[in-house]
Amino acid sequence: MRKMSILSLVFLLLSLTAFKSSDSTSSLDTTTLVKIDASTREERTEITSLGVSIEEVHDHYIVGICRPAQLTALKAKGFLFESFSLPAFLLDFPPGDSAFHNLQELESEMKDLAQTYSHIATLSSIGKSVEGRDLWMMRVSGPQILEGEKSGIIFLGTHHAREHLSTEVPFSLIKHLLKNYGKDEKITKLINEREIWIIPLVNPDGTDYDITNPPYKWWRKNRQGKGAESIYGVDLNRNYGYKWGGQGASSDPSSETYRGASAFSESETQAVKAFIDSHPNITTLLSYHTFSELILYPWGYTYDSIEDQRAFKVHETMAQAMGRMTGYRPQQSSDLYLTSGDTTDWSFGEHKIISFTFELYPANMWDGGFYPPASVIEDVVRNNIPPALYLIEYANNPYRVITTIRPRDFLTVSDVWPPKP
């Protein structure tokens, strides 16, 4: 499934850092790269339930990230694995990373955009993070359109702190929409007929921590805790309420997939919940993550497909179309492994919102992983604008994709229509 063989991975790692056994006595905050023998989705589910964040899925093994406690658990369960210290080149952004936005830059630019395009853009905070930072959201809609008046769509970025490219894509979508309003007929029509909500950064605390004092920390979770010595954080994408507490998330606070003390225990997920709960006009949701180049849709909590066959067909058809636009692989989330408490299971399970997760570029760790060079931002954004416009076009009624009614040609990539059976 991935380009580089595990032998290449092992030899590369061994040339850069010493092998680290599963009996390591390193601190709880030590991040470890692990290769685990696993051939089935059931094995992968057990692995992620132990608290390992699975980053690459191959035919007979996975590559993941965990901490020493999870290595002990893997050994107790009888899994065969090898673990390695993360080499220095994987702990830092490549040279010339300044195009990635830190919190101050993101907030400043969003405020400037809201002021410049005040006739169609409104910036607001939907709540605070656990450390008191604002969760900024941009509303983009036509002049004079009242909130809730038009069909809505929401884009979410960066639930996981180290996935910095998943901030840049939704933020760039904001800029693309605003700068083309009144200039591009296609964009203008979309904005006039929809209510578009974009939150580029759901996890500001974790993101800020990840990029503070290089080398970068590979931090995934938020910064929930009672002090520097006990901050383990919560995996925000395991903290949503639908089927929370099941397989594919961990109850261990030190693990990468810690689900939190209860569903919606975190202020960040509470804020997202409150906003979506109060906006019944939202029909469509897209959550950006990195990496693997995948388009995922519910369910994550079960291997079964969505029971409502029409809803399943909508997700499948849209995912396939967006896969042709991007080159990403479309599939049901649980085909990889089970997850519980994730964003899209909740948005569809509770609100019947048509929901997707994009795992953005790159395909694997060796093409940049969580820290690709800034030079790729423009291409990744360009690749992901068409599916965003496609979802916005269909937000008035996503079920149109399973009818004979085709979208307006100017809003889609020409070579994907009609969708293949």
CA distance linking residue 147 with residue 141, whole number of Å: 9
- The closest of 176, 186, 153 to 396, measured between CA atoms, is 153
Q: What are phi and psi of 54, to 5 degrees?
A: -85, 125
What's the number of CA atoms in the CB half-sphere (13 Å) around residue 273? Answer: 20
Query: DSSP string covering 328-377, please?
Result: PEEEEGGGT----S-HHHHHHHHH--EEEEEEES-SSGGGTTTS--GGGH
Distances (CA, A) of 299 to 42, 53, 196: 15, 18, 25
Q: Residue 281: CB partners within 8 Å, gap ≥ 6? A: 148, 149, 150, 151, 152, 195
Question: Which residues belong to the active site?
Answer: 359
Element (H, E) at 285: strand 282-290
In the numeric block, the tokens 């884009």 are attached to 155
Element (H, E) at 15: helix 6-16
Among positive and negative, which fits the CA dihedral 361, 367, 371, 376? negative
In the numeric block, the tokens 């989705």 are attached to 41
The identity of residue 40, as a single letter, is: T
What's the number of CA atoms in the CB half-sphere (13 Å) around residue 295? Answer: 22
CA distance linking residue 32 with residue 78, whole number of Å: 19
3-class DSSP assignment, residue 154: strand
Which long-range contacts link 319-325 to residues 24+ away (Cβ below 8 Å)? Answer: 319/295, 319/356, 320/419, 320/420, 321/387, 321/390, 321/401, 321/416, 321/419, 322/295, 322/356, 322/387, 322/390, 322/391, 323/295, 324/413, 324/415, 324/416, 325/383, 325/386, 325/387, 325/390, 325/413, 325/416
